[in-house]
């Protein structure tokens, strides 16, 4: 095979349709656009989703759901997860190293889920009222 002998597959290439080139072409005069109306005119056509003045589908349907972009920087940790950690002093870096929160997390909050029987000291981590009570009952504390 030589570069000068390469040809496209049979039927892959065909001549462009030349409209408005006389009656014998079958696409003369109106050039396949029919008579009158918005679709026959140059530059005249509706935008995507336009339904002739009827309320478009995307506006008829109710708006549903929203997820704040700020949520991806906030994370939660349970009391049961704190119980499994081997360290006593817990801060954001410890939780990230343990893989309990996202590396991108900026704020972490402890929620009351599970049991906590060991003493833990939270530094720079928030807690719900129930989680705070459970931590203090186990002899731990929450430092701001």
CATH code where residue 126 lies: 3.100.10.10
Question: Total structural domains in the chain?
Answer: 2
Residue 3 has pLDDT above 70, yes or no: yes
* 45 shares a domain with 102: no
* 79 shares a domain with 114: yes
Place of tokens 């072409």: 25
* 53 shares a domain with 77: no
Q: Which of 6, 30, 61 is the last residue of a domain?
A: 61
* 80 shares a domain with 57: no
| Distance (Å, whole) CA 119 – CA 135 | 7
Q: What dihedral do alpha carbons 87, 89, 91, 95 form, nearest 10°?
A: 10
Residue 77 has pLDDT above 70, yes or no: yes
* 138 shares a domain with 79: yes
Residue 72 has pLDDT above 90, yes or no: no
According to DSSP H, which parts of the chain are helical?
57-60, 79-84, 92-98, 129-137
* 79 shares a domain with 38: no
Range of the domain at 135: 69-143
83-126 pLDDT per residue, tens: 999 899 999 999 999 999 989 899 999 999 999 999 999 999 99
| Distance (Å, whole) CA 133 – CA 115 | 12
């Amino acid at each position: 095979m030589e570069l000068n002998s390469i040809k496209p597959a049979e039927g892959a290439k065909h001549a462009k349709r030349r409209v408005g080139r006389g009656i014998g072409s079958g696409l003369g005069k109106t050039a396949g656009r029919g008579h009158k109306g918005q679709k026959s005119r140059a530059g005249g056509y509706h935008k995507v989703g336009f339904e002739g003045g009827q309320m478009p589908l995307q506006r008829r349907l109710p708006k549903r759901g929203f997820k704040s972009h700020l949520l991806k920087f906030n994370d939660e940790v349970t009391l049961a997860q704190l119980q499994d950690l081997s360290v006593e002093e817990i801060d954001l870096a410890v939780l990230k190293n343990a893989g309990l929160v996202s590396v991108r997390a900026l704020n972490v909050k402890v929620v009351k889920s599970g049991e906590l029987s060991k003493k833990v000291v939270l530094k720079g981590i928030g807690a719900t009222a129930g989680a705070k009570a459970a931590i203090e009952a186990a002899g731990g504390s929450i430092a701001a």
